[in-house]
Structure 1
Amino acid sequence: MSVLIIIFLTAVAALFAGVFEQGKFSRYISILGLLVAFYVSFLPEAEFFNQYKSMFDYTVNAALFTKIAIVITILLFFLGGFSFSNHRSHQSELYALMLFALCGGIVLFGFQNLVTLFLGIEILSIPLYVLAGSNKTDLRSNEASVKYFLMGALATGFLLFGIALVYGSSGSFDLYKIHQFSLENSKDLMFNAGAVLMLVALAFKVSMAPFHMWSPDVYQGSPSLITAFMMSVVKISAFFAFFKVMSIGFFGITGEWINIVGVLIIITLFLANVMGLAQSNAKRMLAYSSVSHVGYLGLIFFGLNNLSAYNLAFYLFAYSLATIGVMMCLIWVEKLKRETSYNAFKGLAHTEPLLAVAAAISMLSMAGIPLTAGFMGKFSIFAQAIETTPFLVLVAVLGSAISIAYYLRLIMVMFFPKESSFKTSERVPLTYNIVAVFIIAALLVLGIFPDLFATQFGM
């Protein structure tokens, strides 16, 4: 709760910096507030907040995912100065809205009640509807905002209907009372229907196929830094909420919904990877790549054990770092070329080798190549699931193999073009080089010494 309050106050301060026409300081205020919040996240909660534990509890898992989300947000804000250079008149609003969305994510990490779950999802989502359309002169950005809002409203309807059925049958919003009810009344039709409706709603939120139809257009149309935020921080928040609801609240009726998740995983992995191969636009390819990773993450529901939450955290952290590594490169190219097609990246490695190397290692990590953090993340989730569902693990391995093709395509364009078209006198900002070095080091070190993740995040 302390971290949540600090980030909320930081968002307000960033917002008011714009009111007093000091928007250029909003990024520094935001980063400072996030650093303070990150430090506080390692401290035990004050006893005063114990009275709210029935609604929000800062558990060990909540603390772990909060730390990850804060680190990823800090890295994104480091990229904001260059990325938001066209938004000088309302930079403060963009940073503030991202922080408000992060507040929603933190609520989702610690929710103990379905009412808190709903509030967290809405606090997370509403700022994103505005952020997606923040490039007001771009029709694609406007379309992204409207499409995200409409699909988000539809998913919210499913969620509320599901919550109503669950409450009507169990008589409680409390997650652990619902857990107990699911153990004792596994054949309750109304309860099972509510669980399935909530599953569908949360599948929308994490963009699991076939409920992913909004994400490629929204990710492509949104400003690129906002897209990176949605692919990383929002994905972390939404998927952990999905995991927590299904693995705790509906644990007693796992048999009723686990096969649905299995089918969704197969559809997601097949559809996202095949569509990724068909793309000629790097940003849209990354959107389908993001959808495919939801398929790999879905395997966390199979073979649940005490390490499942940790394995999920490691994978999401590795994936988010890799996402920033690629999107950072895309932001730079988009600013110079005004496009994100594969051709726009030709010869980037000759002009900005550090940026290209960071993007290449990030994509190799996404593909699950050994000695990267992405490989260790996939290995831990696949190893957990293989005893209960070897077929799904085989499908996931095949999906990873397919994904290598579209990742390598972009790498080849950057490093081995037939004719380089990337010539510019403008240099990458220092902050981008710092983030690139951090991401390269983190992905390789965690790929070789994965236990460092636990030690660095206070596990």
Structure 2
Amino acid sequence: MSVLIIIFITAIAALFSGVFDYGKFSRYISIFGLLIALYVSFLPEPEFFSKYSAMYEFGANAALFTRISIVVTLLLFFIAGFAFSNHRSHQSELYALMLFSLSGGIVLFGFQNLVTLFLGIEILSIPLYVLAGSSKTNLRSNEASAKYFLMGAFATGFLLFGIALVYGSTGSFDLYQIHEFSAKNPKDFMFAAGAVLMLCALAFKVSLAPFHMWSPDVYQGSPSLITAFMMSVVKISAFFALFKMMSIGFSGITASWINILGTLIIITLFLANVMGLAQSNAKRMLAYSSVSHVGYLALIFFGLNNLSAYNLAFYLFAYSLATVGVMMCLIWVEKLKRETSYEAFKGLAQSEPILAVAAAIGMLSMAGIPLTAGFMGKFAIFAQAIKSTPFLVLVAILGSAISIAYYLRLIMVMFFPKESTFNTSERVPLTYNIVAVFVIVAMIAFGIFPDLFARQFGL
């Protein structure tokens, strides 16, 4: 809980820096607060907070997912100065809202109660509705905000209805009492209906098809840095909430929802990868790519074991690193060209080779090419799931094979154009090259030496 308090106070400080005309320092305040929070996450929790453990507990898994979320947020804030250059009048609000959203994610990492789950999801989501529409003069951004808000409110209704049915069955909001009830009453219809409704609501939050319909439009219309935040930090938070709820709270009635989830995985992998092939806009292609990765991640529910949470964290961190590498390249191109079509990336490697290499390795990692972190993440999850559902793993492998086509298409445009469209003297900021090098090294290092992940995050 110490980390949650620090990040919340940092968000308040960043917000009020704008009120007192110090908005230009809001990014530095945010980065400083995140670094302190990252350090504190490695320290033992004060005994004082143990009294709140029935609602929120900062255990080992919560600490692990909090650390990777903070690291990814830090990387995004390092590149945010250039990305938010058009928002100088209200950039303090943008940093504050991102930190408030991160606070909601940290609540989700340690929730022990359905009330805390609901609060965490709403704290995570509400700032995003504003952030998606923060490019006020862009009609696509306005559409993204409205669509995300309306669909999010609809999903919240499913969540609350599901929670009501679960509470009506068990008489408790406590996660572990719900677990005990599910083990003793595996055929309780009202309880199973509540579990399915909650699964649908959380499937919306993580963009699991067919509950993904908002994602392409919202990801494309939102400012690109906000899109990167939603594709990485928000996905980490929402998917861990889904993982914890289903694997602990509803583990006793797995038979009631596991086949539904398997069907959703097949739909997700087929639909997202086929739609990704059909795109001519790189940002929209990455949106469908993000949806497809939820299908791979959802395989974690098959063959659950003691390493499942660790495998999930590794995959999410590897995917988030790749997302940062690709999206900062997209942010640079979008600033120069005012568009994100494939054509806009022609010859990028000739003018900004480090940025292009970071994007290329990021996409190869997303595709699961060996010697990248993404390959090791997929391998761990596939190896776990293949014992119980080889058919779904085969579908996932085929989906990965299809995804290589649209990733390679963008890589070919960047590295092997007939002619370059970058005839500008403007150079990428130094912070972008620094973050690009970090991302390249991290993706390759974790791909070759996956045990580094455990050592670096204090496991």
TM-score (norm 2): 1.00
Amino acid in the other structure paired with 1:51: K
Q: What corresponds to 2:327 in structure 1?
A: 327
Q: Distance in 1 between matches of 2:424 and 2:27?
A: 27
Structure 2 match to 1:262: 262
Show CA shifts across 1:247-276 (max 9, x none). 000000001100000000000000000000
What is the alpha-carbon distance in structure 1 between the residues aligned to residue 233 and residue 380 of structure 2?
Answer: 21
Aligned to 1:392: 392
- 1:368 aligns to what? 368
Deviation digits for residues 214-270 of structure 1 (CA, Å, limit 9, x no counterpart): 000000000000000000000000000000000000000001100000000000000
Alpha-carbon distance in 2 for matches of 1:445, 1:230:
25
Quote the residue 1:350 is aligned against: 350
Which residue number in structure 2 is paired with residue 63 of structure 1? Answer: 63
Runs of 4+ in structure 1 over 4 Å off: none
Q: CA deviation at 1:419?
A: 1.6
Match for residue 204 of structure 1?
204
- In the other structure, the counterpart of 1:186 is 186
SS of 2:90's partner is: helix
CA distance in 1, matches of 2:276, 2:23: 38
Unaligned runs of 5+ in 1: none
Alignment of 1:48-447 (within 5 A): 48-447=48-447
Secondary structure in 2 matching 1:186: coil
- Secondary structure of 2:420's aligned partner: coil
Displacement after TM superposition at 1:418 (Å): 1.2
Q: Secondary structure at the match of 2:340?
A: coil
SS in 2 for 1:291: helix
Secondary structure of 1:310 counterpart: helix
**Cα distance in 1 between the residues matched to 2:144 and 2:29:** 29
For residues 131-178 of structure 1, the C-alpha deviation after alignment (integer angstroms, 9 at most, x for no partner) is 000000000000000000000000000000000000000110000000
Structure 1 Cα separation of the partners of residues 35 and 270 of structure 2: 40
The residue identity in structure 2 corresponding to 1:226 is I
State the Cα distance separating 1:420 from its structure 2 match: 1.2
Query: SS of 2:219's equivalent?
Result: helix
The Cα shift of 1:442 comes to 0.2
- Unmatched runs of 5 consecutive residues or more in structure 2: none
1:108 partner letter:
L
Structure 2: how far apart are the matches of 1:235 and 1:422? Answer: 33
Amino acid at match of 1:164: A
Q: Using the TM superposition, give the Cα deviation of residue 421 of structure 1 relative to its aligned residue in structure 2, in angstroms.
A: 1.0
Deviations 1:71-104 (A, max 9, x none): 0000000011000000000000000000000000
CA-to-aligned-CA distance 1:396-443 (integer Å, 9 cap, x gap): 000000000000000000000012112210000010001000000000
Q: Quick one: distance in 1 between partners of 2:209 and 2:423?
A: 39
Aligned mates of 1:356, 1:221 — CA distance in 2: 23
Identity %: 85
CA RMSD of aligned residues (A): 0.3
Residue 393 of structure 1, CA deviation:
0.1
Comparing 420-429 with 65-74, which one deviates more in the overlay?
420-429
Deviation string, structure 1 residues 376-395 (Cα, Å, up to 9, x no partner):
00000000000000000000
- The count of residues paired between Structure 1 and Structure 2 equals 459
What SS does structure 2 have at the residue aligned with 1:89?
Answer: coil
* Map of 1:35 onto structure 2: 35
In 1, Cα distance between the equivalents of 2:273 and 2:146?
Answer: 26
Aligned partners of 1:181, 1:303: CA distance in 2, in Å?
Answer: 22
Shift of 1:22: 1.0
1:20 is matched with 20
Cα deviation, residue 106, structure 1: 0.0
Amino acid at match of 2:2: S
Q: Distance in 1 between matches of 2:405 and 2:342?
A: 14
Task: Tell me the secondary structure at the aligned position of residue 403 of structure 2.
Answer: helix
Alpha-carbon separation, structure 1, partners of 2:442 and 2:30: 23
Aligned equivalents of 2:307 and 2:397: distance in 1? 21
Code of the aligned partner of 1:385: A
Deviations for 1:7-49, whole angstroms, at most 9, x for unmatched residues?
0000000001100111110000000000000000000100000
State the Cα deviation string for residues 36-69 of structure 1 (Å, max 9, x = none): 0000000010000000000000010000000000
State the SS of the aligned residue for 1:284.
helix
